[in-house]
Every structure is written in structure tokens, then in C-alpha cells.
């Protein structure tokens, strides 16, 4: 009845928490010295940063439920304004106090920085998606979808492209229109609160992994840090996990490593070769976060501001995390920034902040964190693997598994919970176990 979870990112944590809640003996193996994976705390010179600035939205139901389960009060943990998008120079959109989707429709009609014609065209685009029940040709890219609906260059620059990059981390001409629409559907068309921005007021470790670790400890689960699983073997009906300290046997395994680590784990298992081959063809996209520490009185007019026609895409005021004067500049997906040295990138970002926001002082320190494989490229018709593998008792969890969401915290937590439920079901079906 023992279950192993390999990988302590948000997917693995979601799986382990779901199993521990049912008092199933679970051991979580994490290769790093800390939990969180691609959404983790990074401590540099005693200062807590994140490996990348993250935002959540109100539609992240499973993630918010899990935060609550491990004792996080979301109202304390996040600054949660109604949907507000400010993209310099001059675009402002704030959702109205109306039920969805009218909150967005009126917000668009009241938006600053675009013409009446553009506002009506954006509303018509969203109505057309709804009429088509949010289904489009799976081969279509976001850029092609926007062109079909005559969205202007300004609408694309200020609204649709920033949303596409933020949600799918894939350039619009390569990104899946269907997955983009799924996000629009869930954020804008069900409840008004679903489109709320949730901006963490702590580092990412404190947002979920720390509390999850405490929850796991309190529910009898074991967490092993610095414990990389090097291989898996099948032994009768069980799985043998190999690590540097020896081997351990489990009746079921949830593999919650990122897709680019799957081949290392399953390279020796013939039955898993179709999965290994499928993932070998995948491409990945980077996310860069540039931290700049200015004087404490430097502040943004709103904690999250977009910039248009610049390398810098979003600027966050880390006053959010009680770090006044600290700005985090996010650059999603591939682009010219990848060929710059970190010093040249910082210089470029500083020039853009000066030009767009009139921040002209010299930062006391800067730090670039480049996550080269932040997410998979969310391209049209990408076939993603199911949580259940061909082997009974062996499951996959992670933001890359089958989901109508792009690689996000919500895709990760949903997959973790789904794989844990499969493990629970498997246990309840075994004649020798009762849960
Ligand atoms: C910079 C950046 C910004 C992002 N911004 C957002 C955002 O704003 N909103 C949003 O929703 N999403 C965002 N994302 C995406 C989000 O962080 C990921 O989708 C999510 O964290 C993936 O979680 P996961 O558990 O599936 O995978 P991972 O986080 O990759 O977890 C896998 C874990 O497995 C461990 N591991 C690997 N191999 C082994 C092994 N052999 N043995 C043991 N352990 C192993 C790894 O160390 C890791 O901890 C961002 C990602 C990045 C990188």
C-alpha cells in the first residue's frame, strides 16, 4: 500500500497531499534541496526571491483548494484586485462590477488607449468564441485566430499577445489557439472572480511548498530531499526505485518530474518507450526574470504593469512581498533577449524602465534568473500524455500531462490530484487492501 511520488514540484506536492489526506503511506522523493520545482523560492545573499515571478488567477480552482487544504488563507497570501491590465504606453482595462462576461465586455468598452472600433471588434471576437462554444480548429495558431477575427495591431500588442505570452509562454504565431481560448473561457466567462489576478504576497516557497511539507509531515508522509531517483524497475507487482543510497520498493508510483526528465527515468523500460519517443520531439520555451533593486521610494502605480514594443513584458513591484524598491521584470518565451549577456539584458531593461516609467536611478544590485526550459511550447494539436501509463500502478503527473490548460500551476495541481485519485482507486480495487 505504499506509494512513491517522484518530484516535489506543485504536481508532486498536490499528489502527495491528496494521498496523505487519506492516510495512505506516501514517500516523496525530490532531487533538489528544496520543494517547489519550477515555482520555488530562491535565496540569494540571504534574500528570498523566486525562480520567476508567478501570478495565479481566480479560475485556478484546484490550486486554490489545495492552498486552503494545507492551511493557506488566500486572502492573506495574495493581493487580489479585480482584473486590471495596464500596458504602457497608455492602455488601461479594468473589469466592471458586473457578472461575467459583462464585467469584461463593459471593461473593454471603457478601456483607454484603443478606439471604439477596436473595442467593438474585441467584444465581437469574444462573442464569436462563445457562439462557437469555445471550439476552433485544433491546428490553428493564436496569430491565425486573431487574424481571422480582424483584431488590430494595437489590440494584439496591448491585449491578446501579452495574454497569450503570459498564459501559454509561447509566441502567438506558434501558440495553440484552442488552449488560448480554453484559458479565456475559464477566466472570463464563468464567474467574475475567476478573472481576479492573484499576486503572491510572499515568496513562492511560502505560498504552497512550505505549508504542503508541514501538512505531509502531520499526515504521516515522508519527504526525502536531495534524493534523485535514478531508475525504476518492475518487480512482480511492485516498483523498485533506485537512488544513490540504495533501492526502495513501492506498490504504486506517481512520477511528477518535468517532461524533459522522463527519458532518464524510463530509458530502461521497453513499455515506456512510446512515451519517451513522444516527449523527445517536444520543444521548450524560456522565461527570464530580471530583478532590479532601486531605492525604496521607487514604486509602480499598479503592482503589475505591461510594457509594449520592448523586451520587457511585465514589471512587478515587489512591494507586494514587502520588498520596497525591488522590481521584477518578466520576459516570457523565446526572443532576442536570449542572445544577450546578462549585463547587456540588464542594461536594456533599465533603458526600457527609464523610457516607459521614468525610472532613471541606478539599481544597487540586479539579478537575472533564466529558466531555459520553463514550459513546453504550447503548439497547436500537441498530444499530451495521460496520467495513467500503460503499467498499472504507475502514473504521470505534471503540467505537461493531458489537460485543456497550458503549462501552469493549475495544470500541475490538477494532474497531481488526478494521478493520486487513480492511485486511490487502484488501491480500493485490490482485493488485499481496503481504504
Ligand atoms: C519562470 C517561470 C514563471 C512561471 N510563471 C507562471 C505563472 O505566472 N503562472 C502559472 O500558473 N505558471 C507559471 N509557470 C509555470 C509553473 O511554474 C509550472 O507549470 C509548474 O511549476 C510545473 O510544476 P510541475 O510539478 O509539473 O513540475 P516541476 O515544477 O518541474 O517539478 C518537478 C520536480 O521534480 C524534481 N525532479 C526531477 N527529476 C527528479 C528525479 N529523478 N528524482 C526526484 N526528483 C526529481 C525537480 O527537481 C522538480 O522539483 C512559470 C514557470 C516558470 C519557470
Contacts (Cβ under 8 Å, ≥6 apart) of 284 = 260, 372, 373, 374, 375, 376, 377
Looking at the predicted structure, is the pLDDT value of residue 435 above 80?
Answer: no
pLDDT at 433: 54
How much is the mean pLDDT over the chain? 95
The x, y and z cell numbers of residue 224, run together, are 526525502
Q: What pTM value is reported for the model?
A: 0.96
Percent pLDDT > 70 in the chain is: 99
Mean pLDDT of 330-336: 97
Say which residue the cell 471588434 belongs to.
121
In whole angstroms, give the CA distance from residue 10 to residue 16: 10
pLDDT at 431: 62
Looking at the predicted structure, is the pLDDT value of residue 373 above 80?
Answer: yes
Q: Which residues on adjacent β-strands are paired with residue 93?
A: 85
Pocket test for ligand 1, best of 258, 264, 313, 398 (most atoms within 8 A of CB): 258
CB distance 39 to ligand 1 below 6 Å: yes
Burial class (CB in 10 A: 0-12, 13-18, 19+), 420: buried
CB distance 50 to ligand 1 below 6 Å: no
Q: Measured in angstroms, how far is the CA atom of residue 5 from the centroid of ligand 1?
A: 15
Looking at the predicted structure, is the pLDDT value of residue 430 above 80?
Answer: no
CB distance 371 to ligand 1 below 6 Å: yes
Q: Measured in angstroms, how far is the CA atom of residue 208 from the centroid of ligand 1?
A: 13
Going by pLDDT thresholds of 50, 70 and 90, the confidence category of residue 348 is: very high
Looking at the predicted structure, is the pLDDT value of residue 434 above 50?
Answer: no
CB distance 229 to ligand 1 below 6 Å: yes
pLDDT in tens, 287-330: 999 999 999 999 999 999 999 999 999 999 999 999 999 999 99
CB distance 28 to ligand 1 below 6 Å: no
- Which 3-state string (H, E, C) describes 286-319? EEEEEEEECCCCCCCCCCEEEECCCCCCEEEEHH
In whole angstroms, give the CA distance from residue 137 to residue 125: 16
> Which atom of ligand 1 sits closest to the CA of residue 412?
26
**3-state SS, residue 166:** helix
Cα distances (Å, whole numbers) of residue 318 to 360, 405, 426: 18, 27, 45
The x, y and z cell numbers of residue 36, run together, are 517547489
Nearest residue (CA) to ligand 1, atom 51: 374
Looking at the predicted structure, is the pLDDT value of residue 140 above 50?
Answer: yes
Segment among 79-83, 155-159, 178-182, 324-328 with least mean pLDDT: 79-83
> Which atom of ligand 1 sits closest to the CA of residue 54?
8
Q: Measured in angstroms, how far is the CA atom of residue 36 from the centroid of ligand 1?
A: 7
pLDDT at 268: 82
Q: Where is mean pLDDT largest: 43-47, 78-82, 117-121, 265-269? A: 117-121
> Which atom of ligand 1 sits closest to the CA of residue 36?
49
In whole angstroms, give the CA distance from residue 166 to residue 54: 10
Amino acid at each position: 500500500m505504499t506509494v512513491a511520488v517522484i518530484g516535489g514540484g506543485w504536481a508532486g506536492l498536490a499528489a502527495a497531499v491528496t494521498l496523505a489526506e487519506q492516510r495512505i503511506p506516501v514517500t516523496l522523493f525530490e532531487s533538489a534541496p528544496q520543494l517547489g520545482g519550477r515555482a520555488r523560492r530562491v535565496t540569494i545573499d540571504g534574500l528570498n526571491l523566486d525562480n520567476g515571478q508567478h501570478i495565479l488567477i481566480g479560475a485556478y480552482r484546484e490550486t486554490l483548494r489545495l492552498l486552503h487544504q494545507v492551511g493557506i488563507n488566500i486572502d492573506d497570501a495574495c493581493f487580489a484586485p479585480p482584473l486590471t491590465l495596464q500596458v504602457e504606453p497608455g492602455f488601461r482595462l479594468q473589469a466592471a462590477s458586473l457578472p461575467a462576461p459583462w464585467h469584461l465586455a463593459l471593461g473593454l468598452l471603457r478601456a483607454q488607449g484603443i478606439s471604439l472600433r477596436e473595442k467593438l471588434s474585441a467584444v465581437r471576437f469574444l462573442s464569436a468564441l462563445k457562439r462557437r462554444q469555445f471550439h476552433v480548429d485544433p491546428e490553428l495558431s493564436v496569430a491565425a485566430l486573431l487574424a481571422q477575427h480582424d483584431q488590430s495591431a494595437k489590440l494584439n500588442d496591448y491585449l491578446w499577445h501579452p495574454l497569450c505570452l503570459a498564459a501559454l509562454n509561447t509566441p502567438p504565431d506558434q501558440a495553440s489557439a484552442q488552449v488560448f481560448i480554453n484559458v479565456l473561457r475559464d477566466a472570463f466567462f464563468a464567474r467574475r472572480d475567476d478573472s481576479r489576478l492573484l499576486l503572491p504576497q510572499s515568496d513562492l516557497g511560502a505560498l504552497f511548498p512550505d505549508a504542503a511539507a508541514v501538512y505531509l509531515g502531520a499526515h504521516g508522509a515522508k519527504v526525502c530531499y536531495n534524493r534523485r531517483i535514478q531508475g525504476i524497475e518492475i518487480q512482480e507487482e511492485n516498483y523498485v526505485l533506485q537512488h544513490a543510497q540504495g533501492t526502495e520498493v513501492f506498490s504504486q508510483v506517481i512520477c511528477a518530474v518535468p517532461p524533459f526528465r522522463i527519458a532518464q527515468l524510463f530509458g530502461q523500460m521497453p513499455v515506456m518507450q512510446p512515451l519517451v519517443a513522444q516527449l523527445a520531439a517536444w520543444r521548450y520555451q524560456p522565461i527570464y526574470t530580471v530583478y532590479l533593486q532601486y531605492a525604496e521610494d521607487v514604486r509602480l502605480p499598479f503592482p503589475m504593469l505591461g510594457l509594449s514594443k520592448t523586451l520587457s513584458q511585465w514589471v512587478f513591484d515587489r512591494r507586494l512581498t514587502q520588498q520596497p524598491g525591488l522590481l521584477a521584470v518578466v520576459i516570457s518565451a523565446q526572443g532576442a533577449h536570449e542572445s544577450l549577456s546578462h549585463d547587456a539584458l540588464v542594461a536594456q531593461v533599465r533603458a526600457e524602465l527609464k523610457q516607459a516609467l521614468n525610472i532613471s536611478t541606478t539599481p544597487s544590485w540586479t539579478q537575472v534568473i533564466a529558466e531555459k526550459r520553463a514550459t513546453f511550447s504550447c503548439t497547436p494539436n500537441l498530444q499530451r500524455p495521460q496520467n495513467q501509463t500503460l503499467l498499472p500502478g504507475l502514473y504521470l503527473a505534471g503540467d505537461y500531462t493531458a489537460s485543456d490548460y497550458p503549462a501552469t500551476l493549475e495544470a500541475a495541481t490538477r494532474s497531481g490530484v488526478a494521478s493520486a485519485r487513480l492511485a486511490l482507486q487502484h488501491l480500493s480495487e485490490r482485493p488485499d487492501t481496503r481504504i
